[in-house]
Amino acid sequence: MVPAKEVMVGVDMGGTSLRALVVNAQNEILAIEKTPTNVALKPEGLIRELALMVEDVVRSVGLRKSQLRAVSIGAPGAVDPEHGVVYHAPNLAGWDEVPLGAMLGKLLRVPVFVENDVNVGVAGEHALGAGQGTQELVGIFVGTGIGGGIISRGQLYLGSRGAAAEVGHMIVQVDGPLCGCGSHGCIEALASRTAMERDVREAIRAGQKSCVLKLMEERGKDRMTSSIIQRAIRKGDPVMRKVMKRAQYFLGMAVASVVNLLDPECVVMGGGIAERLGEYFVAPIRKTAYENFLRRHDADRVKIVPGSLGDNAGPLGAVVLARKRLEK
């Protein structure tokens, strides 16, 4: 029997899937549950699904929801962690100024904390993953978009409005492609998985040979997932390799800019692509970054590494941050 009140549930609330972990006081994972995100549901419906998911995963370890110390969620988009409000989640229908913490807390009758999904991922890698032992760290997570998080003096840095570390919207090419945020040349518009898919499709339309669309069709995918990217690279697909090389270059330049500004001990590259490709993905980013540091003579003192927690980084980081808030 798991001791009650030592257990928390961490949730990663993604646009593709919901992932919940039951975690004990030693940050050991006791159970995992994952389900597709029904993005068509209104906020109230999706929050009810979250509540049922938490109840199910807690029941799987012999506990009731009333025995939880807290539930902590990493939510996509603009979040107010102090009040548990999701101001805007572009990949979820109707998520504008939704009091997620209060609504889920009312259903579960336990404390509920809410934080930005990338911030919790970075907190997880700092506390339990590739960034353990550092005081100054930057996390850059590459997926559908590109998000970032900063750890300074061992604590998550949020900025004056809670909007710090929007690395994906650093402009690195002023006349570059249009980004979803409305600006041109953001790193997200040049090196995210979405940007890579755009560039692959453009190359194919221009007559270049590639197996990417065939791989997507074979696996019933309507978008270029990290697994498709991995398979295409393993097959030596020339278009995918060229597009990847370009994305790695821009990511390397972005990392160099971040390091020149903040001088962290470590930069953790997270997200599905980094998880699947590891050093293949990160090594060229590291090389470009080191070549563009202002201070180059000891560049290798700044570690640039892939994350080590994979899909569990967010839920584990959510638990870590919730514990800190409860201690205060």
CATH number, domain of 294, equals 3.30.420.40
Q: How far apart are CA 170 and CA 188, in angstroms?
A: 8
Is residue 24 domain-resident? yes
Q: How far apart are CA 114 and CA 127, in angstroms?
A: 18
Domain co-membership, 284 together with 318: no
Is residue 117 domain-resident? yes
Domain co-membership, 159 together with 232: yes
Domain co-membership, 32 together with 160: no
Domain co-membership, 117 together with 203: no
**Which structural domain range is residue 140 located in?**
133-307
Domain co-membership, 20 together with 108: yes
Q: How far apart are CA 235 and CA 215, in angstroms?
A: 11
Strand residues in the chain grouped as ranges (E)? 8-13, 17-23, 29-36, 70-75, 78-80, 85-88, 96-98, 112-116, 137-142, 146-152, 155-157, 266-270, 303-306
Domain co-membership, 287 together with 323: no
- Could you tell me how many residues make up the chain? 328
Q: How far apart are CA 245 and CA 156, in angstroms?
A: 31
pLDDT values of the chain reduced to their tens digit, one per residue, 328 residues: 555 578 999 999 987 789 999 999 999 999 999 998 888 899 999 999 999 999 999 999 999 988 999 999 999 888 999 999 999 887 788 899 999 999 999 999 999 999 999 999 999 999 999 999 999 999 999 988 899 999 999 999 999 888 889 999 999 999 999 998 889 999 999 999 999 999 999 999 999 999 999 999 999 998 999 999 999 999 999 999 999 999 999 999 999 999 999 999 999 999 989 999 999 999 999 999 999 999 999 999 999 999 999 999 999 999 999 999 998 7
Question: Residue 96, SS3?
Answer: strand
The number of C-alpha atoms within 13 Å of 33 and in the hemisphere containing its C-beta is 19
Rounded to whole angstroms, what are the CA distances from 192 to 31, 46, 195, 201? 31, 27, 5, 14
Is residue 128 domain-resident? no
Is residue 126 domain-resident? no
Is residue 188 domain-resident? yes
Locus of tokens 């940007």: 195
Is residue 2 domain-resident? no
Domain co-membership, 150 together with 256: yes
* 85-88 vs 112-116, strand pairing mode: unpaired
Domain co-membership, 80 together with 143: no
| Largest Cα–Cα separation, the chain | 62
* 85-88 vs 96-98, strand pairing mode: antiparallel
The model's pTM: 0.92
User: Which residues have CB under 8 Å from 35's CB, separation 6+?
Assistant: 17, 18, 49, 53
Domain co-membership, 301 together with 318: no
User: Which residues have CB under 8 Å from 117's CB, separation 6+?
Assistant: 12, 13, 14, 74, 75, 76, 147, 314
Domain co-membership, 173 together with 267: yes
Domain co-membership, 189 together with 154: yes
Strands of 303-306's sheet, edge to edge? 155-157, 146-152, 137-142, 266-270, 303-306
Give me the number of domains the chain comprises.
2
pLDDT of residue 93: 80
Is residue 290 domain-resident? yes
Domain co-membership, 171 together with 288: yes
Q: Taking a C-beta distance cutoff of 8 angstroms, is the pair 46, 22 a contact?
A: no
Is residue 127 domain-resident? no
Locus of tokens 């998080």: 149
